[in-house]
Amino acid sequence: MNIYDHFAHEDEYPELNIEAMSERLAKALSFKTVYTDAETTDWSQFDALQQHIVDSFPYVMTAASNVEVVGHSLLIEIPGSNPKLTALMLIAHQDVVPVVPGTEDAWTHDPFGGDVDDTYIWGRGALDIKDMLMGELEALEYLLSQGFSPRRSIYLAFGEDEEVLSHGATRLAEVMASREMRAACLLDEGTTTFFDGSAYGAPEATVADICISQKGFLNVRLTATWPWWTFLKSVWWNFA
């Protein structure tokens, strides 16, 4: 991930400490938040990442009415000034895919080293999806530090096992449903399709897709019926 491309508009925000933000992401990458199963996962790594979040974003933590660990997922609620408005939801997942045993020496940098050089932030999760998790928090931290007060509530939900089962997301959804916590829209990972906006009346602009649904799966059972004599005719032709 190119940190300069990631913060492409950094000149518009001279008060941002890009180096500190990069180091916070790099540290998040150093935690081996690999989900295996409920019994063998090293949950201390998830605990450490969550503590890093609490320590790194004081404005978010101060504004939050609730910071809650649900299973091993994290739910943060920031109340808005207008309770009639449905909330905005920012989501990501803490877990990353494992490093294939035997490939450790093939990595340019330690996948959990959290290394930063002049061009890149290196580590497992730099693109899937700790960059988004930390980016959501960094954006909100910046806005709150500038005196921003949201009109609608903001929910941040960070799952624990998206790469495998998404039981964490299920538990988060159950908790939110039980409290009648609803979102008008949510920001999630997904398509990374960026293209020239000229065709859409936005020359010299980069355009990205806005999705109205999330990928999933559907099981369908199809049953076909036909007259019995059609079957007999098919058999006759096969043996004639």
Catalytic residues: 95, 162
- Please list the residues that pair with 14 across neighbouring strands: none
Q: Please count the CA atoms within 13 angstroms of the CA of 28 that sit on its side-chain side.
A: 31
Long-range CB contact pairs, 113-116, < 8 A, 24+: 113/29, 113/30, 114/26, 114/27, 114/28, 114/29, 114/30, 115/26, 116/3, 116/22, 116/23, 116/26
Torsion of CA 77, 183, 158, 81, to 10 degrees: -20
Sheet holding 154-159, edge to edge: 66-70, 73-78, 154-159, 87-93, 183-187
Helix (H, G, I), strand (E, B) or coil at 73: strand
Do 152 and 86 meet the contact criterion of CB atoms below 8 Å apart?
A: yes
Structural tokens at position 78: 């920031």
Query: Kind and range of the H or E element at 23?
Result: helix 18-29
Q: Please count the CA atoms within 13 angstroms of the CA of 165 that sit on its side-chain side.
A: 10
Residue type, 195: F
Do 151 and 81 meet the contact criterion of CB atoms below 8 Å apart?
A: yes
